[in-house]
């Protein structure tokens, strides 16, 4: 298809399949109802290619037919070559520019949408970074609280049985942790030798305490003597330890 503007010359061309250089070619330009209103002659430019120009003053759809003749008077058609034709569209340059502007506007709108999406992505990324920072701050605060923890112990005599009871627990900022995992207590003498291992208690009381009772009679604990109680309480994935003094009361 040939596309042009009103009053602006446009190119007409025909390539002969056999490259014949001695033909005579005329173009017949017809309007939308088939009436011929221009007959430009095409001249040979090389290797069977013939070119010329057309010029249509009005907007509209037209057609060009190329006919090859065997004589310079264009009286005898050369039947070796079929008649070929091509549509011609003469368009409004203002409408063309408007279409270009519309395309540009669409492209600008797409770019704006892309920019908005990128801005949204950046906003989400910023929110993720802020949230991550907040989580890190919370974890740091929690770690700080746990660093301020305290493993405590008390002991006394159960009057109904006459046995000594030991209670151990974990505090954070003076608040008893209600869900510790386990507790172990080892009694040592002043030289650090293990006198008795109470073992691991995995069942805290509802109030967060771990209860132990005195060891059997075969354990050589001296009444009134004070031993070192090495207490380890697990909470979460951390173990908190302390050494407390334990006086044998029984």
More confident residue, 162 or 191: 191
pLDDT in tens, 194-245: 988 999 999 999 999 999 987 766 577 788 889 999 999 999 888 999 999 9
- pLDDT computed for residue 164 by the predictor: 86
Residue 210 vs residues 47, 64, 207: alpha-carbon distances, Å: 106, 104, 9
- pLDDT computed for residue 99 by the predictor: 66
**Burial class of residue 119 (count of CB atoms within 10 Å of its CB; 0-12, 13-18, 19+):** exposed
pTM of the full structure: 0.42
pLDDT in tens, 106-154: 888 999 989 999 988 888 888 888 787 778 776 665 565 555 678 888 8
pLDDT in tens, 33-60: 999 999 999 999 999 999 999 999 999 9
Displacement of CA 41 from its chain's centroid (Å): 63
Q: Under CATH, which number does the domain 2-95 receive? A: 2.60.40.10
Query: 149-247: same fold as 2-95?
Result: yes
Q: Are 54 and 62 in contact (CB under 8 A)?
A: no
Topology annotation, domain 149-247: Immunoglobulin-like (2.60.40)
- Enumerate the domain spans of the chain: 2-95, 149-247
Mean pLDDT of 167-173: 90
**Burial class of residue 125 (count of CB atoms within 10 Å of its CB; 0-12, 13-18, 19+):** exposed
């Amino acid at each position: 298809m040939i596309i042009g503007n009103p009053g602006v010359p446009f190119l007409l061309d025909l390539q002969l399949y056999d490259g014949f250089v001695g033909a005579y070619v005329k173009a017949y330009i017809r309007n939308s109802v088939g009436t011929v209103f221009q007959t430009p002659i095409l001249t040979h430019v090389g290797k069977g290619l013939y070119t010329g120009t057309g010029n249509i003053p009005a907007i509209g759809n037209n057609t060009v037919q190329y006919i090859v003749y065997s004589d310079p008077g264009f009286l005898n058609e050369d039947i070796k070559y079929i008649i070929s034709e091509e549509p011609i569209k003469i368009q409004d340059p203002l409408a063309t520019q408007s279409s270009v502007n519309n395309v540009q506007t669409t492209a600008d709108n797409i770019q704006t949408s892309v920019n908005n999406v990128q801005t949204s992505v950046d906003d989400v990324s910023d929110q993720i970074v802020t949230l991550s920072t907040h989580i890190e701050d919370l974890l740091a605060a929690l770690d700080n609280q746990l660093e301020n923890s305290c493993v405590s112990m008390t002991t006394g005599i159960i009057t109904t049985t006459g046995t000594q009871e030991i209670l151990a627990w974990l505090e954070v900022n003076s608040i008893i942790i209600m869900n510790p995992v386990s507790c172990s207590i080892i009694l040592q003498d002043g030289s650090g030798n293990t006198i008795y291992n109470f073992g691991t208690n995995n069942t805290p009381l509802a109030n967060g305490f771990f209860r132990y009772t005195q060891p059997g009679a075969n354990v050589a604990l001296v009444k009134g003597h004070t031993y070192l109680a090495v207490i380890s309480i697990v909470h979460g994935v951390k173990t908190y330890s302390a050494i407390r003094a334990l006086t044998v009361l029984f």
